[in-house]
Structure 1
Amino acid sequence: MAKVNFTAGRVDAFKCESGKSQSFLWDSAAPGLALRATANEAKSYIFQAKLHGKAIRVTIGAPGTWTIPAAQAEARRLKVIIDNGQDPRLVKADTLAAEQAVRDAEAAARQAESLRLRSESVTLGEVWPVYVAERAPHWGEHQISAHRKIIQAGGEARKRSPKETKAGPLAVLANERLITLTDARIEEWAKVETLTRPSSARLAMRLLKAFLNWSAAHPDYSAIVTRNVAKSAKAREILGKAKVKHDLLQREQLAAWFGEVRKIGNTVISAYLQTLLLIGARREEVAALRWVDVDFQWASMKLGDKVEDFRMVPLTPYIAHLLAALPRRNEWVFSSLAAESGKLAEPRIAHNEAVAAAGLPHLTLHGLRRSFATLSEWVETPAGIAAQIQGHAPQGVREQNYIRRPLDLLRKWHLKIEKFILDEAGIVFTAAPAGLRVVGN
């Protein structure tokens, strides 16, 4: 191989010989250095030598990028590597890998620091919706709504009221960083909230406790939520214990209650409230009743259940009469054209007005459930049967593991309960073979 001293003119003038795919011009100053020209007029410096008896070739770069001295220096460096018994290609690959590893480590460190700073700045209000979204598939509609309301900022217009929504008990903590939530901060919050809404504050504390348990187990927040400050004994002491509620309908109050509830202009709300009392179910269970869940032929209803997925309860004659008279506007038995969900959303206003008009003490919708449990005692209904109709968890070994009551057995006692309530209310009701009708009051 003829060698020449590389100059800018020689490098620029060198071309591939006619009829060949590539030609080489070898440098006399740097061993193994050559200029390669291809038939398509591309040029590049290359280094060629033998390693363990085999020829290897390494591309250095184009003349436009590499000067002649730089290419000669690179060739000498590669020659040293060859003389040391190493393959320059492998050395280059190892070097690049090491450099990439350093870059990756630096990027990972920057990302970790960014995540640390982000996690330390994240607030309760930012993480709460993430928590609700993850747990929502395991919750009922009422539980999801409770979690959203407990932290709502308030100040939004209501659909059926001139008053704006109120801020939830946890709203004042929404901007608190999770890392700064301490026992002292929770205790300070509890002192303020217990003065105006202790019941809501106790609920907020329970929900916050569950949220912090979730956060402590979540990979994104476990590093900053290392203990559950909602378990503060002092905060619980400040909030106090919930008082046992006693609102319910006594037998002598039934006539007044039914008299006003049956006057309610909205027949859906009127039927809903009467059904709520006569089956003793939870308010959301009755509101979520669908037409496909009501079997008029076999006198049964399928209710969503807090303990189980669902439970079957008897469709008693008076309730069947109430439901049969309702309009079938959509899938919901207790439908509403005003509610976004299409079902009855807020019957409390009409109920409170009816209770006031009847001259009765304050009575909540849950008080109707309490009323059913109490009134069923008058007909000596076995406690387990009333509890099963209402959807209470079985109590004791026998109830949990041995007793399996058929619907007809529940119906036997449920009919007695309904008749007693209607009789005490002064409602004379006859279930005729051709249908159901109210005879008089």
Structure 2
Amino acid sequence: MARVPLTINRIEKLSCPEGKSQVFMRDSEVPGLGLRCTPKRKTFIFEADLHGQTIRITIGEYPAWLLDTSQGSNEPSARRRARELRGLIDQGIDPRLQEKEAKAEHEKLLTAENKKNITLADAWPVYVQANASRWGARHLADHERLAHRGGDPRTRSKAKQTIPGPLAPLLDVKLTDLNADQISAWLEKENETRPTVAALAFRLLRAFLNWCDEQPEYTGLIPEINHAAKKVRQKVAKSKAKDDCLQKEQLPAWFANVQKLSPIFSAYLQTLLLTGARREELAELKWTDVDFQWKSLRLADKVEGERQIPLTPYVAKLLANLPRRNEWVFSSTSAQSGRIQDPRYAHNQALSWADLPPLTLHGLRRSFGTLSEWVECPTGVVAQIQGHKPSATAEKHYRRRPLDLLRKWHSQIEEWILEQATLRNTVS
């Protein structure tokens, strides 16, 4: 078929016709790049002629692999990988053979005589790849971000380059040298500038070291007394539970200034407060998840997998006024994913305008739970709306409230919050 410039829109619309096992779409921008679509999945592929034969290489599945990424991004990019493969083909190198050689070289590295030279940088990517499928997107991103060496160019910051992650100083340390003294000294140094992030990095490192002890190829490399030693545990900064929350007296200023933001960010932040949802599950809301007729929202839930909550009148009005650029409710014209990525900057700007104290996006979720107490809403109702795990036995095994009952209370919560914000008459 003819080559066309691959776009996210074209990829999303491509489907496999009934009666066919697969169809292809080939990119006109990067020679050799294509998309194979079957009834179950879409996969980026690379095709080229080498030594008189056509070779086909699977790059990766969409959307785990993005079509394009910004310069300096660590996210997997199909076009970038296709260009790398094209470069090898142009040199007469078969990428498949190179991959086999790389695998053989890696296996050689793991032989008994070379085991002692394995560093954290060698084993960390293996650990991440082995566990990525069962991790959430945020947890996976933490593993990549905290072990990043830094030095990548930055375009949207005063700093010209990204700073190294807290695990960067340990990347070139051999696993056999990751003893209690080494880890303790590293923690002490990191605690000087970023104790909270260092504590998170330590928890990730601890899980990694435990995993290594269970892998035959790394068995015996980790010193017996390292992360569990008392001298190490004493260096880990204690996590303090955050209690940032909007007070009812702050609601007028918060709403007034959030409404000055662009419509997408304004609607997102107001919906976040009025639903008590998690920041990512709301950012991932699609139009197919919104039922304006029966007044419900379907959210991806990390506890239950999915939950349905009421679409209250004011939130329904906010969403109905948003542009339908793509599948995402909170869309973005600049983000590669097509949806908003980091609303913190917009929120912080609104807080600055309102002269309000710092408030995280999770603080908005916390605010929903706190403010709901003013209408004496049952805690089990709030927990079900927010997607919290049931606590009491009765809640866990018996009380799963229907949507209509949730709507009764949720509408009261919304009405009370809007009344405090002097927005009570804005819902028509």
Give the TM-score, by structure 1 length.
Answer: 0.69
Structure 1 residues 207-262: Cα deviation after superposition (integer angstroms, max 9, x where no partner) = 11222222222232223236473333332322231123221110000110111110
Q: In structure 2, the residue corresponding to 1:312 is in which secondary structure?
A: strand
Aligned to 1:276: 272
Confirm or deny that 1:205 pairs with 2:205: no
Amino acid at match of 1:339: A
Taking structure 1 as reference, are residues 209 and 256 closer, same or farther at Cα in structure 2, changes over 3 Å only?
same
Confirm or deny that 1:262 pairs with 2:226: no
Q: Is the 8 A contact 1:212 1:228 kept in 2?
A: no
Amino acid at match of 1:209: R
Amino acid at match of 2:386: Q
Aligned to 2:32: none
Structure 2 Cα separation of the partners of residues 272 and 233 of structure 1: 45
Q: Is the 8 A contact 1:279 1:389 kept in 2?
A: yes
Structure 2 Cα separation of the partners of residues 258 and 275 of structure 1: 11
Aligned to 2:325: 329
Confirm or deny that 1:150 pairs with 2:146: yes
Confirm or deny that 1:179 pairs with 2:171: no
Aligned to 1:243: 240
Taking structure 1 as reference, are residues 157 and 271 closer, same or farther at Cα in structure 2, changes over 3 Å only?
farther
Structure 2 Cα separation of the partners of residues 112 and 150 of structure 1: 28
Structure 1 residues 165-200: Cα deviation after superposition (integer angstroms, max 9, x where no partner) = 222111111111112111111111111111211111
Q: Is the 8 A contact 1:216 1:226 kept in 2?
A: no
Structure 1 residues 93-130: Cα deviation after superposition (integer angstroms, max 9, x where no partner) = xxxxxxxxxxxxxxxxxx98961233221221222222
Structure 2 Cα separation of the partners of residues 227 and 313 of structure 1: 49
Structure 1 Cα separation of the partners of residues 113 and 378 of structure 2: 60
Query: After superposition, where does 1:281-430 map in structure 2 within 5 Å?
Result: 281-430=277-426
Amino acid at match of 1:136: A
Q: Over aligned residue pairs, what C-alpha RMSD do you find?
A: 1.9
Q: In structure 1, the residue corresponding to 2:307 is in which secondary structure?
A: strand
Structure 1 Cα separation of the partners of residues 123 and 209 of structure 2: 10
Amino acid at match of 2:120: L
Taking structure 1 as reference, are residues 309 and 222 closer, same or farther at Cα in structure 2, changes over 3 Å only?
farther
Q: Is the 8 A contact 1:209 1:230 kept in 2?
A: yes
Runs of at least 5 residues in structure 1 that lack an aligned partner in the other structure = 1-110, 433-441
Q: Is the 8 A contact 2:226 2:232 kept in 1?
A: no
Q: Is the 8 A contact 2:177 2:223 kept in 1?
A: no
Q: Tell me the CA shift for residue 296 of structure 1.
A: 1.4
Q: Is the 8 A contact 1:213 1:228 kept in 2?
A: no
Aligned to 1:233: 230
Structure 1 residues 397-435: Cα deviation after superposition (integer angstroms, max 9, x where no partner) = 112222221122211111111111111111134544xxx
Runs of at least 5 residues in structure 2 that lack an aligned partner in the other structure = 1-106
Q: In structure 1, the residue corresponding to 2:401 is in which secondary structure?
A: coil
Taking structure 1 as reference, are residues 114 and 127 closer, same or farther at Cα in structure 2, changes over 3 Å only?
closer
Structure 2 Cα separation of the partners of residues 249 and 306 of structure 1: 25
Aligned to 2:100: none
Structure 2 Cα separation of the partners of residues 124 and 114 of structure 1: 13
Structure 2 Cα separation of the partners of residues 344 and 288 of structure 1: 9
Q: Larger % of helix: which? A: 1
Q: In structure 1, the residue corresponding to 2:227 is in which secondary structure?
A: helix
Structure 1 Cα separation of the partners of residues 156 and 108 of structure 2: 49
Taking structure 1 as reference, are residues 395 and 123 closer, same or farther at Cα in structure 2, changes over 3 Å only?
same
Aligned to 1:17: none
Taking structure 1 as reference, are residues 122 and 113 closer, same or farther at Cα in structure 2, changes over 3 Å only?
closer
Structure 2 Cα separation of the partners of residues 172 and 431 of structure 1: 55
Amino acid at match of 1:279: T
Structure 1 residues 353-386: Cα deviation after superposition (integer angstroms, max 9, x where no partner) = 1101101111111111111111111111111111
Structure 1, 355-364 or 124-133: larger mean CA deviation? 124-133
Amino acid at match of 1:361: P
Structure 1 Cα separation of the partners of residues 135 and 109 of structure 2: 35
Amino acid at match of 1:397: T
Structure 1, 421-430 or 156-165: larger mean CA deviation? 156-165
Amino acid at match of 2:333: L
Aligned residues: 321
Structure 2 Cα separation of the partners of residues 141 and 351 of structure 1: 22
Taking structure 1 as reference, are residues 198 and 153 closer, same or farther at Cα in structure 2, changes over 3 Å only?
same
Aligned to 1:136: 132
Taking structure 1 as reference, are residues 230 and 267 closer, same or farther at Cα in structure 2, changes over 3 Å only?
farther
Amino acid at match of 2:375: V
Structure 1 Cα separation of the partners of residues 351 and 285 of structure 2: 24
Q: Is the 8 A contact 1:339 1:345 kept in 2?
A: yes
Aligned to 1:34: none
Q: In structure 2, the residue corresponding to 1:161 is in which secondary structure?
A: coil
Q: Is the 8 A contact 1:209 1:228 kept in 2?
A: no
Structure 2 Cα separation of the partners of residues 232 and 296 of structure 1: 56
Q: In structure 2, the residue corresponding to 1:346 is in which secondary structure?
A: coil
Structure 2 Cα separation of the partners of residues 114 and 313 of structure 1: 51
Q: Is the 8 A contact 1:179 1:224 kept in 2?
A: yes
